[in-house]
Amino acid sequence: MTDTPVSTDVSTNQMTIEEFVRLYDTEGAFEIIDGERKPVSPTVAGHNYIAKIILAALIKYEQQTGVGEVFFETPYIQLDTFDSQWVTGSKVPDLLFVLADSLRTYREETPDWKAKPLIIIPDVVVEVVSQNDLYSDIAKKIAIYQDEGVSLIWIVDPQTENVTVHTQDRNQSTQLTKTMVLQGGDLLPDFELKLMDVFA
Q: What domains are defined for the chain?
A: 44-74+91-198 (3.90.1570.10)
Q: What is the mean pLDDT of the chain?
A: 91
Average pLDDT over residues 148-164: 97
Q: How far is C-alpha 35 from the geometric centre of its chain's CA atoms?
A: 19
Side-chain half-sphere of 89: how many Cα atoms within 13 Å?
13
pLDDT score at 82: 66
Does residue 126 sit in helix, strand or coil?
A: strand
Does residue 197 sit in helix, strand or coil?
A: helix
- Categorize the per-residue pLDDT at 131 as very low, low, confident or very high, splitting at 50, 70 and 90: confident
Residue 79 backbone class (left: φ over 0; alpha: ψ -120 to 50; beta: rest): beta
Average pLDDT over residues 97-109: 97
Distance set, CA 169 to CA 1, 180, 196 (Å) = 22, 22, 27
For the cut 50, the answer to whether the pLDDT of residue 3 exceeds it is no
> 64: how many CB neighbours lie within 10 A of its CB?
10
Strand ranges (DSSP E) for 8-50?
A: 10-11, 15-16, 30-33, 36-39
- Categorize the per-residue pLDDT at 4 as very low, low, confident or very high, splitting at 50, 70 and 90: very low
Strand ranges (DSSP E) for 24-157?
A: 30-33, 36-39, 68-72, 76-79, 86-91, 95-99, 124-128, 152-157
pLDDT digits (tens, 9 = 90+) for 31-81: 999 889 999 888 889 999 999 999 999 999 999 999 999 999 999 999 987
Side chain identity at residue 39, one-letter code: P
